[in-house]
Amino acid sequence: MAKKDYTKLEKDDLLKVIEKLESRKKYGLIWDEEKTKEQFEKESENALPVLKEVKGKEIKTDPNKPTNILIEGDNYHALSVLNYTHQGKIDVIYIDPPYNRGGDFKYNDKYVEKDDSYKHSKWLTFLNKRLRLAKNLLHEEGVMFVSIDDSEQAQLRLLLNEIFGEDNVDVMVWRKSGYGRDGKMKNTTTFRKDHEYILVCYKYEKKLNKINETPEFQNEYGNPDNDPRGPYKAGSISRRESASNPEHENFYTVVSPSGKKFTRQFDIPKDDFDSLNSDIVENTDGKKVSRIYWGAKDNAVPAIKIFIFEERSITPYSVLLTKGTTTEGTKEVSEILDKDCSKMRPKPTRLIKTLIQLADKGKDLTVLDFFAGTGTTGHALLKYALDIKEKEAKFILCTNDDEGICTEYCYPRIYKVMKTGYKNKDGQKIKPHVGNLKYFKTAFVKNSISRDDLKMRITRECTEMLCLREGIFNEVKAKPDYHIFEQNGRIMGVYYSMERDSLAQLKKELDKMEGEKILYCFTFDPLGLDKNDFVDWQGVNLEPIPQKILDIYEQIYEY
């Protein structure tokens, strides 16, 4: 790349360069952003992104289920749109970005080769702005997981430290290959890389759930009291009397079925112990047995039964050894699409489902993947949703369509998993996970010299963005000046016209409908709507457009 001639710069431009150089930190991640600026497709130049629905690809299986989203287009533009529709609303983000090993990462329409001297700078420039937009989307308790390998792990950790704060970034290790020869055929002069990393980023609160899993013991265990719940390991839950602290809050006395007393320090509170001991079932001999094992004669030190086939909650660990393999992930998608997907090397749903469960904060759940690839995150969430039927769980997937990744892999996979089902390798029919999907493509509104002209045009083109923001998609009325949408007892009106002639008719339509109502109404005024136009509008939340959209885009784009 040619060296910049600073002698030709104007005074103001030169001052900007000096300020930038002086503001650079003395320690941390520094790369050449100036020489690796990202270029986008022609249609997006001097334009602002919106969404347009691809009607023929909608999936509807149950109107009572939430609507999931698939956005085809550059994820930078998709994230820009989501910064208006979903800022602060995403609970979990998982991404599996290109690893930049050489030839696997496309930048400015060219693959970045291993010997490219700006290899790392291009990758960091590409990822930096996307990660910053993604952070805005996370809920205050939100968590982002990023898969990576040794090619960029060191650089990525520094970048995430800068964006989230050093104390808010953790690292996990995932074993990507299984036992035996699974995934281990590559020869090497040093050692095979059987692992990858998952960097864990917390928006604010550094907290994860306990991990839910069935035990994977190396030894075999029996069922000495014939508990109907199956074989188990008797696990220790107390200290010896001599090692117990009488002042500890978990120091208490329990009585065995035979009447023997044990006074010592336990690992669990008394209420928890009593709950386990009172969870009683009857075995085939007619004897009542609980989740506490008291020995063959009901007089031994109490132990907790860890059932071999029962899922339990335990403290998460940093090395994930049994959460699927790359081979497993490849087999999953190849089986669904009935074609060889080995070049994709997708993650297994078992891994992604585990990460979602760790970060699920117990309320309605929204999961985002803006490097969606073959759609593994969507598939994993549909599986996870079966375990949490008491609340809503939905996904947003974003991907471009390079080499047909969206139209030939991601969408067909989600379609089969959600609507038709598929056959596994043994010919067994796998039933679909019922759900709904809206398919959007990114589109663009060209900028203009007239600010008012831009406002009018983006208002006419932002309807799908408003539907996505509110989660209301079913159009029930379409007039030249306004549209009305309804879904699950919620109603949204969109008023497009500068003139207010049709407002009265829109009000009549909304008055006929029951439910929570919101109106997005066009105005040139950046300060909001004129209250005199809505004096008798009762029970309708009012939102001006498009100023809030433009305010967000002004922070992202130069226009």
Domains of the chain, residue spans: 47-211+317-440, 232-310, 446-556
Q: What is the CATH number of domain 446-556?
A: 3.40.1350
Q: Does the structure show a pLDDT above 80 at 49? A: yes
Mean pLDDT lowest among 18-22, 52-56, 295-299? 18-22
Give the model's pLDDT for residue 27. Answer: 64
Give the model's pLDDT for residue 32. Answer: 79
Average pLDDT (360-381) is 95
Q: Does the structure show a pLDDT above 90 at 95? A: yes
Mean pLDDT lowest among 19-28, 201-210, 358-367, 497-506? 19-28
Q: Does the structure show a pLDDT above 70 at 182? A: no
Q: What is the CATH number of domain 47-211+317-440?
A: 3.40.50.150
Fold equal for 47-211+317-440 and 446-556: no
Which string of DSSP letters, residue by residue, matches 90-142? EEEEEE-----SSSS-EETTEEPPTT-TTHHHHHHHHHHHHHHHHHHHEEEEE
Q: What percent of the chain has pLDDT over 70?
A: 96
Give the model's pLDDT for residue 216. Answer: 82
How far is 306 from 302, CA to CA, in rounded Å? 13
Nearest to 349 by CA among 319, 370, 365, 369: 369
Taking only the tens place, the pLDDT of each residue in 9-40 is 888 888 887 887 776 666 677 777 777 788 87
Q: What is the mean pLDDT of the chain?
A: 92
Average pLDDT (384-392) is 83
Q: How confident is the model at residue 125 (pLDDT cuts 50, 70, 90)?
A: very high
Give the model's pLDDT for residue 26. Answer: 60
Q: Residues near 183 by Cβ (< 8 Å), separated by ≥ 6? A: 176, 177, 194, 325, 326, 327
SS3 546: coil
Name the residue with higher pLDDT: 390 or 488: 488
Integer angstrom CA distances of residue 221 from 225, 236, 298, 410, 547: 12, 15, 19, 42, 65
Question: 159 with 29: CB under 8 angstroms?
Answer: yes
Q: How confident is the model at residue 455 (pLDDT cuts 50, 70, 90)?
A: very high
Give the model's pLDDT for residue 31. Answer: 78
Average pLDDT (356-365) is 92
Give the model's pLDDT for residue 80. Answer: 97
Query: What backbone torsions phi and psi does residue 176 show, to the nearest 5 degrees?
Result: -90, -15
SS3 446: strand
Q: Does the structure show a pLDDT above 80 at 185? A: no
Q: Does the structure show a pLDDT above 60 at 464? A: yes
Name the residue with higher pLDDT: 367 or 46: 367
How far is 379 from 290, CA to CA, in rounded Å? 37
Give the model's pLDDT for residue 41. Answer: 72
Q: Which amino acid is at 468?
A: L
